[in-house]
Chain A
Amino acid sequence: MNKVFISYVRENIEIVDRLYQELTAHGIEVWLDRENIDPGSRWEQAIRRAIQQGAFFIACFSEEYHNRGQTYMNQELTFAIDELHQRSPDQIWFIPVKLNECEIPDRDIGGGKTLQALQYVNLYENWDDSIQRILKVIQPGLSEPVINANAVEQSETQVQPQEANAYFDQGNVYQSKGDYDHAIEAFNTAIELKPDFAEAYTNRGLAHQNKGDFDLAFKDHAKAIDLNPDYAEAYFNRGGAHKSKNNYVHALVNFNTAIELKPDFAGAYNHRGVVYLDRGDDDCAIADFTRAIDLNPDFIAEAYTNRGLAYHKKGEIDNALKDYTKAIDLNPNFVAEVYYNRGSAYGNKGDFDRAIGDLNKAIELKPDDAKAYSNRGVAYHGKGDFDHAITDYTKAAKLNPDSTEIYYNRGVAYGAKGDFDRAIIDYTKAIQLNPDSPIAYNNRGVAYHGKGDFDRAITNYTKAINLNPVFVNAYCNRGETWLHLEEWDKARADLSVARKMGIDIVALFHNEYKNVEAYERANRVKLPEDIAAMLTQRRRSRFPKTEKFLSADGTPLESPDILNLLAKLRNAGPPLSQYLQTRPTFGLKTGASGAFVVDSATRDQLIADHPASADILKPFLHGRDIRRWGVESPDSWLIFVHRRIEIDRYPAIRKHLEQYRSVLSKRAGKQKWYELPTTKKGTERFTQTKLICPNNYNHQTFAVDTDGFYCGDTCYLIPTEETWLCGLLNSRAVEWFYSQVSKQLTGDYLRARSRHIQEIPIPELTSTQKSLIGKIVDYLIFLQGQPTTRSGDLAHARDAVMLGYFERIIDGLAYESYLREELHQGEKQFFNPLLDERLPQLEEIRGDKMAALQEIFERLYERMHPIRRNLFFLNSVKPIRIIEDRT
């Protein structure tokens, strides 16, 4: 008996009745009315039987359900959960439904899961769609082929295509339910009734394939193709069988034929893409998945996942993330792999919190996946949470005891905690599994060094160097250990190799020991003078002592040129936070920008409703409104209801916020429902002059804000009057430095993350030099706001070129600030020739500022002007060539 059991509370009877009507209208039998059961007739058993025999169980959760102390529904849920244990987890039986906004109770359903893990339906958001979703689940399970028994008997003598089709359909239903034996039986009958039934052959082949009987599958597909040589699906299925057997070439041939026969065969593109992906042909794979997605098939989520994977393999992480997210949005309960993939992609980008979120989900869906644990460990590791990282690595190692990488990473985590013994055990294990890993030897060396076992440390470093003779860090580390062993010659040799190969040994040494004197005191030793000299006179800097985790193959070394140049830029001056004696901050997190941020129409209305509203409506910026140099005037206002505001003074505002009350009350934090999570004092950072940039950006995008914009948390704020810094921060030197640093800190992907901005070194300049940069920054802010510089209208091409040229001048000045020696060696100067020009301050220019700037530009752009020449030949300065490398 196929019935759907609906469990509910009395208070919801109206809406449940509606659901009942919908389902019965679609021919579904529903068990609903428990009130009809005779109270004396052993209610419990009747209900239990009805639930057990029901084809589906729908549980209607609601606010009302939660407010009830006692209800039959709880009892029904208990029965249903018992029943759920008995049923196959692959098939949906228990359907939670939310009738209004509420929580699903976290009742245990076994396997470490609760009811919350089940896919639920939100009836209150979009009724029709939700009903469709329920029907989609319920209907195929209920449908049974309508077969005329008499017709089957007649089939002995006469071809009965209609009956054959009915069996064929039945076979498909069984197939979709995973019941392959019955499916095969049904297809057998269909083929008996209609011996040239190509579709039935190939679908039977599919069923065999699903059962693992490939020989039978190939036979059936071949037969289908024999019967109908133009039958694309049969080639497609045969391709799939070859793919399962890893016969990639055969698979490709079949998919190609399928596509040739049916050029819009989305499934074939998708599967061929997978074959390409397995063969390492990422670009072809991406093209095929894109084709599959464009053709808009049912399995679009799968195609997005696959393409995400292909992008991921190619290292195009942002594209990969987009595709994974799309796949998850399309089907939130898709598969653990998508969450795993997306989590790993976030990890690669350095977004560890998101990575952990996704990997949690992946582990929840698939609790025995070593990779997911390992990557979650890496994400915790990246966050500096070594304990959680170790727990995860341990779990991963248990599930997959043969992975070098896991032991290696756990070793790094133990090392970071100072637990060298355990670290050594792990590295040893990693080395056993992969005896050619220089990086594991190096790290074991570091651990031995940490324990004070210098001899073993030396042995390990030496082994690492033998395996990879250009492994700079190993030289550096070995040099350091030789110091402790007082083997001065050897130390000198190793340290100079490291220095020559671009390692900033001074910075490293100072990081570790503060300075030479401190080292000498602590170790009661006197360093030879030349070694002491090698290790002094430089500023603090940070370089990783052990290699970065994630890559256990010993490859991630930057070229010495790049490391050298980074060190040079760092040594030009103190980091930004130190220079400004303040830390940059994020803008305001409202928790509900829909409520607090309004457009000017709404703002005007609020003021019209009550004039006091004007006092707390502030001009507001999102990160996306920020351009280089200036901001795009946005049409946004922030309702600045700080904490402890007297809300009753602003009745119009209160009324406005009232609409969002339920959303607003749910925000985290201690503020009242109508308040922002900030005090009134916090406003100064908005109203004073500041530099701002978007939270995430691909190119340096700093702007000067003197208008006191309030900013959302997609903005990053640097409060300072020194607007010349905007020029420095937008320069290509800083863009390069920053991309390198964020690459080092957050993985190999270039998208800059503003929280590292404070590390940008600010070179030492005279006040005249700073004010010169400031002057040109002012020009740029002005030019950026002029329509002709950005219109794209080629009649004004020269204005656009002018804007670009002034930006280039800023680049030149920044280079001269950071790389004075290198530029002056080639007689390239920017400050002096520009100072000779005695450029006016923007506000000193009377009359037409644009015309005045055009005149200045023409002068500086003249063919043989030193500024023009020096910019033209900048590429002859080696470090600048590195920075402006065209790749």
Chain B
Amino acid sequence: MRITEIEIKNFKAFYGTYRIDLRKTGKNLLVYGENGSGKSSLYFALKLFLESGDNPSHRFENDQNIFIGDPGYIKLCLRADRRSNQMTYEWSESVRETDDELIIEASRAKGFLDYKDLLETHYVHRESNTVNVFNLLVETLLANTVNPRTNRTLAQDWAVIQPPYPRRNATSQIADLESWIEIFNTELANRLAELQPKVSEILGKFGHNVALNFDFPGVKYNREDRTLDNQGIFLTVELFDRNIPEHHRFLNEARLSAIAIAIYFSSILIQPEGALKILALDDVLIGLDMSNRLPVLDMLAEYFSDYQIFLTTYDKAWYEIVRQRTSDADWEYTEFYTSESNEHEIPIHVQDKPYLEKAKVYFNDNDYKACVIYLRTAFEAAIKKFCDRKNLRVRYRENPKELQSNDFWEPIKKMELDDGTPFLGQELIDEIELYRSIILNPLSHARIVPVVKKEVSEAIEAVEKLEDKLAGN
């Protein structure tokens, strides 16, 4: 069972209707997106859509795009395989078709991790020379794993034993509390024991020849002080058969991030699978250095080959690397850009090259703001692709994210024909330069520029000409 199409309207950062086509085979999706571009909104759209079935208290309205009066929706199309019928599920203020076995099961077995979940790794090891990962595991990495005994998530089991605690003489309530604590302890201890070999195996893929141990003494209720003591899971790492006394040196942030990802993957891999298997990682890999990112791709291929994977990143270079290393047959690639109109940011997503077409559609709808964004994107995409194809020397920037459209435009502009005349022709260059300054300049959206219809229409023509020219060569 795979997702073949996602359609989102007026949800979180999405303004208007957006469709992402994952083809009949339900390909994986790689998303590049600027911050604020709706990349994370896509992640949350999927997450909340899946969770809404089992959690009716979360209402679509809560995340409806706040600038919009028109009600929105999220629709997912699913297919068991390319030959079977497509089923559409909708979640909106008025329709809740996610209350379905398939969706609820997908939610229970899903893997959704975002970069914020890993921020905790920056704090854990600073305490002392023991690494206490209790909060990281209980509140984040294992929070949504299910206790087979209570049929609740670990986070819910944990919530049950939070304060307020009973008074000292309330013996039956204390006994109740302690029995819940025992269930929590035994389940967590058992889960850690199950995880341990899998985590070590996955860490091996990162090139860390280590064995990882969790030391979990069990939380304990202190009747005297009415506190929950022993909130600790201590990591011990054996490296090349040597015990490392000071873990915090070995366990730098990058390694700890890798360990965290390994634990998260393992926690999914020890639970049952549903029919619809989704793994979504929102910017998770940015915490890793490049040498640790590539193994993750191999891991996804090895362990999650039957999952449908959604990867997002704001790192353009990484996006390009992943693109190169994955196959078009299994992956769709899409880019999200952002713009600021008078009122709010508009995310734009670009799948393949419909952007100039999109720009025209918005132009015809008299929505010049949106049109300009697509136009700019079309322009950038065209010049980047051309540079790539022609292997033009692009100005080196230490951080590829800082590459600007100018870096691509300049070499193209300077390209000459054999006779020394500009490759693009001076007329086109002048035209593009003109509109770059007022419309196509990505910085232009920082200030509010009144957009005149005529200018926009001429800019469209210019970009169209440029596309033709570049495509023809």
Listed in ascending order, the chain A residues whose CB lies under 8 Å from chain B are 290, 698, 792, 794, 797-798, 800-801, 804-805, 807-808, 826, 861, 863-864, 868-869, 871-878, 881, 884, 886
Contacts and interface: CB of A to CB of B under 8 A. Distances in A.
B28 to A, nearest CB: 23
Contact of A864 (B54, B176, B273): B273
A804 B54 contact: no
Interface in B205-251: 216-218
Sorted from nearest, which 8 A-B pairs have the closest CB atoms?
Answer: A804-B149, A797-B189, A876-B104, A800-B186, A794-B189, A797-B186, A869-B272, A876-B101
Given A794-B217, A884-B151, A863 B193 contact: no
Contact of B148 (A792, A868, A886): A868
Contacts of A801: 148-149, 186-187, 190
A314 to B, nearest CB: 13
Interface string B91-125: 00000000101001100110000000000000000
Contacts of A807: 149
B270 A875 contact: no
Nearest to A794: B189
B194 to A, nearest CB: 9
B149 A881 contact: no
Interface string B287-330: 00000000000000000000000000000000000000000000
A698 B167 CA distance: 19
A77 B368 CA distance: 104
A805 B185 contact: no
Interface string B435-456: 0000000000000000000000
Contacts of B146: 872
Given A863-B270, A863-B271, A875-B104, A804 B156 contact: no
A196 to B, nearest CB: 43
A698 B172 CA distance: 10
A805 B148 CA distance: 7
B272 A864 contact: yes
A727 to B, nearest CB: 16
Contact of A872 (B148, B167, B187): B148
Given A794-B218, A826-B101, A864-B273, A875 B151 contact: yes
Given A800-B186, A881-B54, A290 B167 contact: yes
A797 B193 CA distance: 9
Contacts of B109: 872-873
A808 B148 CA distance: 8
Given A792-B185, A800-B182, A881-B54, 8 more contacts: A804-B183, A808-B148, A871-B151, A872-B108, A872-B271, A873-B101, A873-B274, A884-B151
Interface residues of B, number: 33
A864 B186 CA distance: 22
A868 B271 CA distance: 9
Contact of B193 (A798, A826, A869, A875): A798
A663 B160 CA distance: 46
Contacts of A872: 108-109, 146, 148, 271-272
B165 to A, nearest CB: 12
Contacts of A875: 54, 104, 108, 151
B152 interface: yes
A868 B146 CA distance: 12
Contacts of A869: 272-273
B108 A876 contact: yes
A868 B152 CA distance: 14
Interface in B149-168: 149-152, 156, 167
A396 to B, nearest CB: 35
A700 to B, nearest CB: 14
Contacts of A876: 53-54, 101, 104-105, 108
Contacts, number: 84
A808 B149 contact: yes
A304 to B, nearest CB: 12
Contacts of B217: 794
Contacts of A886: 152, 156
B170 to A, nearest CB: 8
B270 A873 contact: no
22 contacts: A794-B186, A794-B217, A797-B185, A797-B187, A800-B182, A801-B149, A804-B183, A805-B149, A826-B101, A863-B270, A863-B271, A872-B271, A873-B108, A873-B272, A875-B54, A875-B104, A875-B108, A876-B54, A876-B108, A877-B101, A878-B99, A884-B151
Interface string B178-198: 000011011101100100000
Contacts of A805: 148-149
Contact of B216 (A698, A794, A863, A871): A794
Nearest to B274: A873
Contacts of A877: 101
Contacts of B187: 797, 801, 804
Contacts of A874: 151
Contacts of B99: 878
A374 B235 CA distance: 64
A863 B272 contact: yes
Contact of B105 (A797, A864, A871, A873): A873
Nearest to A828: B101
B195 to A, nearest CB: 13
Nearest to A799: B186
Contacts of B273: 863-864, 869
Contacts of B108: 872-873, 875-876
A880 to B, nearest CB: 9
B151 A804 contact: no
Contacts of B150: 804
A604 B271 CA distance: 55
Most buried by A among B53, B99, B109, B272: B272
A625 B378 CA distance: 77
A341 B291 CA distance: 71
A864 B277 CA distance: 14
Contacts of A290: 167
A106 to B, nearest CB: 38
Contacts of A797: 185-187, 189-190, 193
Interface in B394-431: none
Contacts of B272: 863-864, 868-869, 872-873
A884 B54 CA distance: 12
A323 to B, nearest CB: 11
Contacts of A798: 190, 193
A753 to B, nearest CB: 17
Contact of B182 (A698, A792, A861, A864): A792
Contacts of B216: 794
A884 B148 CA distance: 13
Contacts of B218: 792, 794
B472 to A, nearest CB: 55
B151 A808 contact: yes
Nearest to B182: A792
B97 to A, nearest CB: 14
A886 B57 CA distance: 12
A212 to B, nearest CB: 38
Nearest to A803: B149
A797 B273 CA distance: 24
A876 B51 CA distance: 11
Nearest to B168: A294
B185 A794 contact: yes
A90 to B, nearest CB: 34
Max chain B Cβ within 10 angstroms of own Cβ: one of A290, A863, A864, A884: A863
Contacts of A873: 101, 104-105, 108-109, 272, 274
Contacts of B149: 801, 804-805, 807-808
A444 B288 CA distance: 73
Contacts of B274: 873
Nearest to A871: B148
Nearest to B217: A794
B103 to A, nearest CB: 8
A881 B260 CA distance: 31
A863 B303 CA distance: 15
